Structure 1
Amino acid sequence: MTSLPHPFINHPELIDIPAEMLPAVEEISKWIKSQPRFPVFSKNHAYLFLHACHGDIPSAKRALLRYIQIRAIAPDIFDGRDIMLEEIQFVFDMTHMVALPFKTPEGYNILVYRLSDSDPSKMHFGNAVKAFCMFNDVRISEDVITEGYVVVFDMKGLRFGHLARVQFGPLRMFMQYIQEAHPVRLKRIYVVHTSFFINQIMTLVKPLIRHELLSLLKFTSSGPADVLPAELLPVDYGGPLERLEKMHKKQRRMLETKYRQWLIDSARLKEIPKEERGKTATTTKVSNTIGASNKLEFD
């Protein structure tokens, strides 16, 4: 059992839920409690996943199930979530992970990721995936229920040597998590300042990407100003907002203070081992009810 409010640190009580969604939230909450290998999840979890799945109850159940399963079988990504660990600090030293302060005209939050240190020898792919997932959990907590996310991956500074350091195990698990369990609505993914070896990158990851996610990917050799309104961007990208590095430092500090214990605590949100909660597997019960397909919906 966790000791802090999840999934939203600022909302220990139930958030406002539209009246028409309450019956579905109640159904999912009751279902969670009936599953012997689920951790203690709040009704806020039920609503978060239901919203991410556009109100579809079977899809929300599948996503919840995959959420706890993947977090249980990938301890290298989802355990040891202390942001002050040296290896996690190192990732935040060599990257910028930033939530921009304003939304798109459609009401979507914008997340930007880029390297701040382009030395491939410093990159540990597994640790980078862990830090990325920690940052994204915090964004869900801060943003609560949002219409969706636009993600910008800036490839400036990415070298062929970075590709050589990709570990297939963490990459495969990460792609499963993002497509089957991450409780957000992904709207668009922009890959900007594309490198000459983008084809090699896509050769590596394309077998792991479903059509729904692939359709969200947009590539450009230019910067974010070619795909987003300039007024939403930092000065680094031709906009009026403060530099990305400054925003990164502020948000990193928030993770290190407000969210340090919360992130450590969140490692408990995973499937409970059989020996601790009896011999009946959650996966068997759920598969009989909702089928074997596991995926989130993408727009």
Structure 2
Amino acid sequence: MNSIFLSGCLAKVKVIFAENIVCCSRIKVLMMDTKNLLHTNRTEVRKLVLEKLGQSEEDIRKDIQLLKNWFNYQKHLPELPCDEVLEIFLVVNKFNLEKCKKKVDKYYTIRKEIPELYVNKNPKLEHMKEIANVVYAIPLPKLTPTLSRITVMKFKDTNPEKYHPLNYFAHTYNILEIRVREDMMLTDTLVYDLEGLQFGHLFKLRIGILRKASAILEKVFTSRLEAIHYINLPSSMQVIVNLAKNIFGEKMRKRIHVHKDLESLHQHIPKEFLPQDFGGSEKTLDELHGKFS
């Protein structure tokens, strides 16, 4: 598990800058409230998630306290995250405390290791507002019956000249930061609409950028992936997707789906959970996008 906003829990975070390390323990992380953008009854969903994972309220209280005790000895880390943040780290790591500690540690320290994806990426900055108007990266409001959060990625503006990979990945991590503070789910479902994808976009994707972006996902935001869905895949990209699928193990390959049309997508994701742009009954991407920009 894509980035930095703040919700009611207001975790006090130190922001690490590349050369001059500036610690701001009492700032709102990106100076913007998330305003409960995800329509999740956290209490209800939390109960269902704990049942699925075989955990009780007492279990989670004990684990959170153990994490807090551990955190107090980590002098290189900033102030303690709120309980909601610790909860989501526990959930996505299936309550494996050692894995959770590593992810929480890396959540903070990676900002210094890969500053180019964090420094000057406040969503209020002009260049970040611009990238938010080039791509949609939207977690959809409703959880599926399997408690999966659907996130849709799609070009809003297909002009390759306006696409900047570093800013794009930083934008998606800003969205992930909202989720760290507000979300509660069991798995993730990703939908990539590749309509408008051009070689001009791919040409800008340097291997170094991809490695750094992947490192953040792998070391910090790893989640339980239920499925990846591709729609409007250019014929030239089909070969690349097939090659990628061959690299993955059988379990992962079964989670990757390429759809020729919306009807095929609807066989996997009911319309009620999808935006109108995808033939669904949820709000349009533009309406949803307005809340995240």
TMscore range, shorter length: 0.7 to 0.9
Q: Distance in 2 between matches of 1:148 and 1:210?
A: 19
Q: Distance in 2 between matches of 1:112 and 1:31?
A: 36
Name the amino acid aligned to 1:172: R
Task: Assess, with a 3 A threshold, how the Cα gap between structure 1 residues 152 and 159 changes in structure 2: closer, same or farther.
Answer: same
CA RMSD of aligned residues (A): 3.1
Q: How high is the sequence identity, in percent, across the aligned residues?
A: 21
SS in 2 for 1:100: strand
Match of 1:180 in 2: 219
Q: Distance in 2 between matches of 1:92 and 1:147?
A: 27
SS in 1 for 2:292: helix
Match of 1:259 in 2: none
Q: Distance in 2 between matches of 1:207 and 1:170?
A: 23
Q: CA deviation at 1:236?
A: 1.5
Q: CA deviation at 1:218?
A: 2.7
Q: TM-score, normalised by structure 1?
A: 0.72
Q: CA deviation at 1:202?
A: 4.7
Name the amino acid aligned to 1:231: E
Correspondence list, 1:1-299, <5 A: 1=14, 2-3=25-26, 18-44=57-83, 45-143=85-183, 145-182=184-221, 184-199=223-238, 201-202=240-241, 216-223=255-262, 224-252=265-293
Q: TM-score, normalised by structure 2?
A: 0.73
Give the gaps of 5 or more residues in structure 2: 1-13, 15-24, 37-42, 47-55
Q: CA deviation at 1:89?
A: 0.9
Question: What is the aligned length?
Answer: 248
Name the amino acid aligned to 2:92: A
Give the gaps of 5 or more residues in structure 1: 253-299
1:198-238 CA distances to partner (integer Å, 9 max, x unpaired)?
25655997899898766643332333434310122222111
Larger RCO (alpha carbons 8 Å, 6+ apart): 1
User: Is the helix fraction higher in 1 or 2?
Assistant: 1
Name the amino acid aligned to 1:194: L
Name the amino acid aligned to 1:31: W
1:131-161 CA distances to partner (integer Å, 9 max, x unpaired)?
1111121133232x32222121111111122
SS in 2 for 1:105: coil
